[in-house]
Structure 1
């Protein structure tokens, strides 16, 4: 009685295992596994000639006549999982991962797309009185930086102004500085009246002279100085009072240059 019961129990278990196996095969067939076992016989692509910035779809047909498609998809923010036809291969198609970031692009809906332009200006537009810098980034990720500047020799009455346009691109504009101003270091600034004075206008070599004044660079001072013991260099104002120039003279016999003046031995230079 026990042996018979054991045999009955084993037979029942074998029957259930067999039934489960049949159901598993049916499930695989229903989900299409059996279709993929058949050989792919042809592959066609939606676009002639692959382009990374176009979403492509390939169509596959297997030996049983089953038709299905594979679309390009994004694999992260800067990569495309792309399907290619390759009818010379056994599988007739291949899957490759393509990088968008090399062009400064990003992946969107299965294709590499260009980013948007961006542009910033530190002086918020064409402010002629402020030196500004424009930073423009193109859709390809390339960055261009340019700064306002003065053309030609200083002082200039014109400033080259950089700014952003409506398309977030850098544009260059030549602008005249307002009346009473001139361009200096990329901005229009108030013009300065040059002044210059020399406390030794007669260029007396026995006196240490001082030249001072104001120009576009600010206040300045220059002092007569020696070149060795025999020569003195004396400053004088330029004709436009924008600064000074110096000329060199040889000290008189019996004198030598000391601290910006020609003096006799053991004498102290006189500062004017």
Structure 2
């Protein structure tokens, strides 16, 4: 396990043998996982963090986390006073900062708790930081620069979220923002529950919306129905598992299909080939790699 403590942040970089824990007052933090997944529970919300995404948690955010065995985690925890000062400076104009360069009463603003795709610039920055830490090249001024850069990326990400919510069709800004927040909470819950049956009523309850209202709101925000989202994401995850060498039957169960027949039909309809094709492709790639070696 590697723990780094600096004036601006704390880094946790470790490979877990399996871990469950809780935090009553966590810091503003960024969570990433490699070669597996961790499940975070925040109130009624549920977030799955794996190779494809990262999670943003707020300052003073209570949560529970369950990390799979052999998962490599790389998490950044910002010191509250530092984060509050940097995010305040990013919000204010240069003139305002000249008039009041410091504000000891500043607090870390509340951000939208959700997962974001690893391909986002902030996700790529986190991956680069993890690689630097693996090479023992993340220390001294480079750590402080990393903290500033990550907070700048986080501020930009918050702006992107506001813009995305602002394009929703509801008249009042408060309605747009709150609807977006609730739908994203349900989307993350669905993403974390691909292995099990999930009902529309269950997702609506997580979003704290009536089912008919939730169904409409989910489609407006994401562009697809909850059922279409769940089916697409289950099949996409199954494809990844198959390419990693998992047998078809086990992959079907891992993504919530009770019947291999229905899984094969849905898979072929989406990708144009049966799931067994992925196994053959994976095997041929292994043979080619061994020939080169």
TM > 0.5: no
Q: Which has the larger radius of gyration?
A: 1
For CA contacts below 8 A with separation 6 or more, give which structure has more relative contact order.
Answer: 2
> TM-score, normalized by length of structure 2?
0.15
Higher helix share: 2
Please give the TM-score of this superposition, normalised by the length of structure 1: 0.16
Structure 1 or 2: larger strand share? Answer: 1
